[in-house]
Amino acid sequence: MEAEIAALATSGATTLVGLMATDLWTQVRGRFASLFGRDRAEEIAEELDEVREELRSSGDSAASAAEWARRLRRALATDPQAAEQLRDLLAEFGPAAEDAAAVRNVISGGTFHGTVVQSGRVENLTIGQEP
């Protein structure tokens, strides 16, 4: 059970940090904050906004994801309902379902000095059709 919670927390944290760089942030901010308890939701939402601003300036998403994975793991261990909420969030906003086509990006040439965050969703696309 501990391994399942750890995997869920890691996936949740990666999705959380990834969503901070998207337009979906305003939709998911409160929902992620409520995972830590209704009584702390506003406090956590403010913390998440601070992390989002830090990410915009530093681009260090790996450190943020690791920190939020630890926090999510503790929250999931103490509240079984939080695990179900997180699963719902991941189903809605997480990595694409198994039947979705994989996207591969190749960057050649040039020098990059920071983290690149990419997010997107294409639904009902037939090969050869414009999105």
Q: What is the pTM of this model?
A: 0.69
Beta carbons of 38 and 85 less than 8 angstroms apart: no
Length of the chain: 131
Extents of the domains making up the chain: 2-93
Q: What is the pLDDT of residues 111-126, one digit of tens each?
A: 666 666 666 655 544 4
Average pLDDT, stretch 79-90?
Answer: 92
Measured between alpha carbons, how far is 27 from 94 in angstroms, rounded to an integer?
14
- The C-alpha R_g of the chain, in whole angstroms, comes to 16
Closest CA to 53 of 80, 69, 31, 29: 29
